[in-house]
């Protein structure tokens, strides 16, 4: 085994690709953790079970059988074919060829499985493209999906087809070279799919076959490194974030809203007979935080991770009763706007700059927030446990408790509760009068 210039170039490319990816992950982490600190590491066994069922087991994806089955094919292809990427990296660094071929018949089973999966991935991705661009399923052509979101979704499909095709073409050329006994292409592997492509290359010379095999090998691995770094800018970041997102997902019943900790603190103080509201604030005490959320820094880091995990599949919006009745609200768009603002805010922080924008008002309107019925349909529909409702509720709290900007109907209800002890405008003594009529 002797290193060549090709191995050195590959090593440099690998360092650059991985280096940029690590840089992107650091930026992502900084953007997510600009949110409020929140402790969600309790019930670890239950959280691992939730992650195993939803992220690994795809239990919520298969609620839509067709898209769920196709997604599982692509998901398995992504996970399993990466074993082949490991071999490519070893070969590229140390000048070997098919490093794992010493596994013998098991290696043949592996390569054969990779090929079948690659072929199935191409088929599944083709169906996904048809659903988006020819059938034009409604949730894929809503206003928030115009421009970059549509381009991004299609670009990922094209990349996946190209990567899988390069893999199969590389194997087809490799098979021909094996049959010709060209070193170092020793007989190794099983090629159930590329063997159908190999005859098309039979008329090529050895030099041309080597050029095809090497070109596709390089394009395949460089394409994977490029795809890895593209993830940060794409909705397909969920490939990485689905696992922590489901682990840190909500464990309490979906209909149970969280209590604002600052409200709990102030109520506890009011109920404490020993609490002195006029006592000076000590240095160890923090000034009260704002109620609810006005900007991304008021949201928790889990909520920001939710926004970066969003796959933009639109299942949440498609099941939202407010949206279905013509209201402005789109839970998917809420998550997309939170992600856009989080990215913008993080970039400003890196530059040491600020702006006058806020998530509430500049990105998300009060009309959207008050259209929500709090039914949790969006939370139930999300395949990776994203919770748009928690963000909507926190922003509503800000409107009500910081700006006194509740709708007139809600103000009337709260006044009735204060004066009558119930949402209805009737005195408690008069509530049963209807039974006498």
First to last CA, the chain: 98
Note whether 190 and 76 are same-domain residues.
yes
Looking at the structure, do residues 188 and 222 belong to the same domain, yes or no?
A: yes
**pTM of the predicted model, to two decimals?**
0.88
Within a domain: 189: yes
How confident is the model over 338-349, as pLDDT tens digits?
999 999 999 999
Q: 300 lies in a domain? A: yes
Q: Is residue 255 one of the residues assigned to a domain?
A: no
pLDDT digits (tens, 9 = 90+) for 127-172: 999 999 999 999 999 999 999 999 999 999 999 999 999 999 999 9
Instruction: Please tell me which of 170-174, 332-336, 432-436 the model is most confident about, judged by mean pLDDT.
Output: 332-336
The answer on 265 and 201 residing in a single domain is: no
pLDDT digits (tens, 9 = 90+) for 193-211: 999 999 999 889 999 999 9
Domain count, the chain: 2
Give residue 281's pLDDT: 64
- Listed in sequence order, the residues at least 6 apart from 191 whose beta carbon sits closer than 8 Å to its beta carbon are 111, 112, 115, 171, 172, 174, 175, 198
CATH classification of the domain holding 399: 1.10.1060
Q: Are residues 60 and 176 in the same domain?
A: yes
**317 and 231 both lie in a single domain:** no
| Short-list 374, 418, 379, 421, CA closest to 397 | 374
251 is a domain residue: no
Structure confidence at residue 294 (pLDDT):
94
In this prediction, residue 224 carries a pLDDT of 92
How large a percentage of the chain has pLDDT more than 70?
Answer: 97
222 and 265 share a domain?
no
In a domain? residue 106: yes
pLDDT band at 2 (very low <50, low <70, confident <90, very high): low
pLDDT of residue 265: 80
Q: Are residues 195 and 333 in the same domain?
A: no
Q: What is the per-residue pLDDT for 433?
A: 77
89-110 pLDDT, tens per residue? 998 998 888 888 888 889 899 8
Same structural domain, 230 and 315: no
State the pLDDT at residue 283.
Answer: 53
Show the tokens assigned to 279. Answer: 């006592």
Name the CA dihedral angle for 131, 135, 139, 144, rounded to a multiple of 10 degrees: 90
More confident residue, 425 or 212: 212
Q: Is 254 among the domain residues?
A: no
| Residue 241: band (very low, low, confident or very high) from pLDDT cuts 50, 70, 90 | very high
Which domain covers residue 219, as residue numbers? 41-237
Q: Are residues 74 and 223 in the same domain?
A: yes
Residue 233 sits in the same domain as residue 265: no
pLDDT, tens digit, for every residue of 264-279?
A: 887 888 888 888 877 7
Peptide bond just before 184 cis, omega within 30 deg: yes
Statement to judge: residues 297 and 233 lie in one domain: no
Whether residue 205 sits in one domain with residue 137: yes
């Amino acid at each position: 085994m002797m290193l060549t210039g090709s191995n050195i170039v590959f090593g440099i490319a690998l360092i650059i690709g991985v280096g940029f990816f690590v840089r992107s992950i650091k930026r992502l982490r900084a953007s997510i953790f600009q949110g409020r600190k929140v402790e969600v590491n309790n019930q670890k066994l239950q959280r691992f079970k939730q992650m195993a069922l939803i992220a690994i087991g795809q239990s919520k994806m298969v609620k839509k059988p067709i898209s769920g089955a196709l997604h599982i094919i692509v998901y398995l292809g992504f996970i399993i074919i990466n074993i082949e990427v490991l071999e490519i990296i070893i070969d590229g660094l140390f000048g070997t060829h098919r490093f794992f071929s010493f596994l013998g018949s098991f290696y043949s089973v592996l390569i054969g499985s990779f090929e079948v999966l690659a072929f199935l991935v191409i088929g599944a991705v083709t169906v996904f493209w048809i659903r988006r661009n020819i059938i034009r399923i409604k949730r894929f052509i809503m206003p928030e999906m115009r421009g970059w979101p549509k381009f991004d979704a299609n670009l990922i499909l094209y990349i996946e087809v190209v990567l899988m095709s390069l893999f199969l073409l590389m194997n087809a050329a490799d098979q021909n070279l094996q049959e010709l006994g060209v070193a170092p292409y020793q007989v190794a592997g099983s090629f159930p799919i590329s063997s159908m492509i190999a005859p098309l290359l039979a008329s090529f010379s050895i030099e041309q076959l080597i050029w095809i095999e090497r070109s596709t090998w390089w394009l395949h691995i460089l394409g994977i490194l490029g795809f890895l770094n593209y993830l940060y800018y794409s909705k397909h970041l969920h490939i990485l974030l689905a696992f922590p997102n489901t682990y840190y997902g909500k464990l309490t019943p979906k209909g149970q809203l969280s209590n604002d900790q600052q409200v709990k603190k102030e109520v506890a103080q009011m109920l404490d007979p020993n609490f002195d509201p006029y006592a000076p604030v000590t240095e160890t005490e923090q000034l009260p935080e704002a109620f609810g959320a006005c900007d991304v820094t008021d949201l928790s880091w889990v909520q920001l991770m939710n926004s970066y995990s969003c796959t933009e599949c639109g299942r949440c919006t498609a099941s939202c009763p407010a949206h279905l009745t013509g209201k402005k609200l789109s839970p998917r768009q809420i998550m997309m706007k939170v992600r856009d603002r989080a990215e913008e805010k993080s970039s400003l922080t890196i530059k040491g700059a600020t702006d006058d924008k806020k998530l509430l008002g500049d990105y998300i309107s009060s009309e959207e927030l008050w259209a929500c019925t709090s039914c949790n349909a969006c939370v139930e529909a999300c395949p990776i446990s994203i919770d748009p409702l928690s963000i909507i509720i926190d922003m509503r709290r800000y409107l009500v408790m910081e700006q006194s900007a509740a709708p007139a109907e809600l103000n009337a209800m709260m006044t009735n509760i204060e004066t009558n002890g119930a949402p209805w405008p009737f005195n408690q003594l008069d509530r049963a009068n209807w039974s006498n009529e």
